[in-house]
Amino acid sequence: MFQCFLHTGSGEFDEVQHYMKEVIRLGEATGQHYATLFGMTHLANSLALLTRFEDALEQAEQTMARAQELDNLKFQAELLTFVIPIANMQLGNPMAAMEALERGMEIAMHIGDRSSEAFAAVLQGKGAMMQGYLEDGLSFFRRSMEAADATGIPYIIALSRCVTGTGYLQFGGPMAERALDLHMQTLELMEMPTGKTYGTWLWSEIGSCALAAGKPEQAEELFELALNEHTAPMYLMRPDALLGACQVAIARGNLDSAHALHSEAAEYVISRNMSSDYLSVKFTGAHLQAADGDHEAAVALLEECETLAGPEMRRVLLDVLAARAQSLDALERTDEAAATRSRAQAVADDIAAMIRDEELRAAFQEGSRALLDPVPAVS
């Protein structure tokens, strides 16, 4: 069982699977049900982290049935707040993922499992943010911080700090400073023992924040770490790292490098059927086409992004429409650009109307205005 902790943090999943199968065998042989469920659960986790989502979900469902048979709530909570929602999201079943998280959170609260509570709140917050429920998403992230702090485990605390920082960034405006502060705290926590366990995830998010703050050098360093350091989500989060590095290359004007990184990300996502990453690949592709000066291609990709986002993913849709308006500006399709900005403003107004806190609402309105302002033409 200790071998699992030793090898998971550095992404050595062949070793993890070997030892988990042995733990299952020994647990069954000696009648130690906790060991059996530990091995079964962490085998499922390793399959998800390897991006083998169908295998992971099958293993998780078998483990859930066994945990229910043995009336073990701890492993039910762990399965419902990590592997089951992650696998379902990637397999294109977001409703199943959200239902699992809700059940997992209920169990975690019932038994006082703060680790599972923290993970559930992280993923629930991500879902709420994408749908435009920014204040609710931030509440989930703050809850994840409270639960993570109670565990005293550095990598869980680092994850909760990181996603909360990224959550503030979704508001924009003055909230960007809070995002930067929480991300600095995350980097400090990652220097503690086990703090880098989720490194690929954390470096990618902080890198994107650094790039948005106009710090491409720092962003480049962070994405290099995300792509090259061996950590638990090195396979699961590799598309984020590749697309982030692509954005850095675009910002630096290294378009050949940007195209190579984007192609690698697209091939990676398609070959593994990572459906929840399709939109990110297309959105970054649109940004790349715009940087190439092919705004017609960018608009076409952004129309595909809009279809993938649908009306429910309001915060994502806002970014898509803002980017589409900018490409339409470049094409001098003024009426279409104005109509697209009008639609984007309606989305922003819907999001703002759901924010009860006046400070957060004002920050979002300031951030959305900056996002939707036409980019001055270069003479």
Q: Which amino acid is at 46?
A: S
What integer pLDDT is reported at residue 378 of this predicted model? 45
What integer pLDDT is reported at residue 5 of this predicted model? 87
d(C-alpha 221, C-alpha 45), whole Å: 29
d(C-alpha 251, C-alpha 247), whole Å: 6
What integer pLDDT is reported at residue 377 of this predicted model? 52
d(C-alpha 304, C-alpha 313), whole Å: 14
Over the chain, what is the mean pLDDT?
96
Q: What is the mean pLDDT of residues 80-93?
A: 97
Comparing 24-33, 39-48, 251-260, 370-379, the range with the smallest average pLDDT is 370-379
pLDDT band at 376 (very low <50, low <70, confident <90, very high): low
pLDDT digits (tens, 9 = 90+) for 264-312: 999 999 999 999 999 999 999 999 999 999 999 999 999 999 999 999 9
d(C-alpha 125, C-alpha 164), whole Å: 9
Q: What is the mean pLDDT of residues 315-325?
A: 97
d(C-alpha 117, C-alpha 143), whole Å: 8
pLDDT band at 379 (very low <50, low <70, confident <90, very high): very low
Burial of 271 (0-12, 13-18, 19+ CB in 10 A): exposed
Angle at the Cα of 231 (from 227 to 233), degrees rounded to 5?
80
Q: Which of 276, 299, 277, 273 is nearest to 286 (CA)?
A: 299
Q: Which of 100, 87, 89 is nearest to 130 (CA)?
A: 89
Q: Which of 188, 126, 136, 127 is nearest to 157 (CA)?
A: 188
Q: Which domains does the chain have, with CATH numbers?
A: 1-112 (1.25.40.10), 277-368 (1.25.40)
Percent of the chain's residues with pLDDT above 70: 99
Cα–Cα distance list, 55 to 9, 84, 272 (Å)? 21, 11, 12
pLDDT digits (tens, 9 = 90+) for 234-254: 999 999 999 999 999 999 999
pLDDT digits (tens, 9 = 90+) for 96-109: 999 999 999 999 99
The answer to whether 168 and 138 are in contact (CB under 8 A) is yes
